[in-house]
Chains A and B, each alone.
Chain A
Amino acid sequence: MGVLKEVQVDDGIKEMTDLLSKFDPLIEERETLLATGVKDPFSLVMEEVKSPTVAMCNGKETILLGTYNYMGMTFDDDVREAGVRALEEFGSGTTGSRVLNGTYSGHKECEEALKDFYAMDHAMVFSTGYQANLGIISTLAGKGDYVILDIDSHASIYDGCAMGNAEIVAFRHNDVEALEKRLKRLPPEAGKLVVLEGVYSMLGDVAPLKEMIRVCKENGAMTLVDEAHSMGFIGENGRGVVEAQGVIDDVDFIIGTFSKSVGTVGGFCVSNHPKFEILRLACRPYVFTASLPPSVVATAATSIRKLMHSGNKRAHLWENSKRLHQGLRDLGFEIGTPEAQSAIIAVIMPDMERGAMMWQALLEEGLYVNLARPPATPANMTLLRCSLCAEHTSEQVDQILGMFEAAGKAVGAI
C-alpha cells in the first residue's frame, strides 16, 4: 500500500504506467538509424502511380521493383472497367458481414472465378489475405490439435496459431527430415495441420512441397499451403508451387491473396473438402468483419479469370526474374537463392545501416525496392527485396541493373 501512496498526487489522480514505454528500444533504434542521415525507409509516399511499374516518389519518376504486383493487373483495362461498373451499380461498400447483408452477387462471382481458376469445389473469400490465414488456421486447429509450421512462416500464419488453442510445433525452414521426425513424435490420434508456403517471401525460395506433402500424408496430417507469392505466376495454369510440383490434388487447403498477382485486396481459401462450407459459420475473422466492397470483388473476379489465360505473361515474368538474378550476381551482389526460384530476388546486405543507405541510394537513382529487416527476416538478415512484374520491359530490367551498379558502388556494397 505504501507504494500506491507514493504515486498518489494531490488531486487524487494516480500516475499511470505508460503502456507505450515498452517500445522505447524500437524508438531508439529508429532514431539511431535516422541520425546517420538516411531517409525513413518505412514512410515512403507515392504521389502518383502511372502504371504497375512506374510511380512518382519525392517528385521523381521511379521504377517500382518491390510491390508484389507480379502480373501487373492493377491497370488492366478490363479489370478497371469492371471495378468502375460495380462501384456505380452496387455502391461503395457493403457495410456488412458475409453471413448477413454483405454477400452480393459479385462476391459469389468472385468465388466462382476462384473455383474455376483452381478447378476446386469450394472457395471462401476473406477481406484480406492476413485474415484468411488468421481465420482458417485458428478455426481448423482447436484445443488438443497440433499445428506444425515452418519456422520462417509469415506473420499471418503465426498470428493464426496464436489466435487458436492448438499446440504449435515449429521445424527448421524447408527441412523435410525435421518435419517428418516431428510428425512421427506426435500422438497418432491427434488432429494435425501442417502449414507450408509455396514461396517464402523473404528470400523468394520455393518449398520442397512434393516431399513434404508425401511425409504429411504418410503421417496422417492435413495440409494447408499458402500460395500468396506464386498464384498467377508459378505452375502451368498459375495455380502455384503445388501445381508446379504436381501435388495440388493432395493438399487439403490452399490459401491465397488478391493483393499480389490479382492486383487488388482480399484473401481466400480453396478446398475440395466436402464439409468446407461450414467454415463460413465457424470462422470468426470471416463472420465478424465487413465484406469486401463490390468494386474490389469485381476487379478480383475479372483479374482471376484473365490470369487463367496469361501463359505469355508468366513466361515473360520468368525471363525478367532470371535476368535480374543473373545480372545482380554478375555485379557481385549476394542473393538469397542460388538461382531465380520465384519473382522475388532478395539482395542480402551486410547490415541494417548499409542496407538503409543502399535503399536510399537506389531511390535517388529512381528505383523502389523493399527494405526488409529483423525480426521479419530469417537469421537477422537485412534484405533489399526486389519483386518483378510481368509488365517490366527488358529495357527496364537493364535500367534496374544500371541503378544497382551505381548505388552499390556509391555506398561500397560491391
Chain B
Amino acid sequence: MASREEIMAKVSELIGPFNNKGVELKEDTTFQGDLEWDSLTVMDFVAAVEDEYDIIITMNMQAEIENIGQLADAVAKLMDD
C-alpha cells in the first residue's frame, strides 16, 4: 500500500507531462486556476492516474477535487476501499 507521501510524489510525476507552464507543484496547487487545464487535459491526466493505481475517479468525485492535495487524499481513499 502506497503512503500519502508516495502518492503525492507519483501524482506530481504524472502531472509533469501536462505542466506546460512549469508551475511549482504544492498541496494547494489547483488544476484549473494554477495549472490552467482545460477539460480535455483533465481527462487525459485523470486517465493516467486511474491507470497508475487501477482505480476509477468518477466525474462526481472530480467535481470535488480542486487541488493536488485533495487528489492525493482521494487516491489514498480509493486504494483503501
Contacts and interface: CB of A to CB of B under 8 A. Distances in A.
Interface in B44-81: 44, 47, 50-51, 54-56, 58-60
A273 B7 CA distance: 45
Interface residues of A, number: 18
Contacts of A379: 40
A401 interface: no
A168 B64 CA distance: 13
A182 B56 contact: yes
A368 B43 CA distance: 34
A186 interface: yes
Q: Is the interface of B mostly helix, strand, loop or mixed?
A: helix
A74 to B, nearest CB: 35
B38 interface: yes
A380 B36 CA distance: 14
Contacts of B60: 167-168
Nearest to A186: B56
Contacts of A151: 39-40, 43
B21 to A, nearest CB: 17
Interface residues of B, number: 14
Interface in B7-60: 38-40, 43-44, 47, 50-51, 54-56, 58-60
Contacts of A5: none
Contacts of B44: 172
B58 to A, nearest CB: 4
Nearest to A167: B58
Given A178-B47, A185-B54, A170 B38 contact: no
Nearest to B54: A185
Contact of A170 (B43, B51, B54): B43
Interface in A142-177: 146, 151, 161, 167-172
Nearest to A375: B39
A181 interface: yes
A268 to B, nearest CB: 27
A168 B59 contact: yes
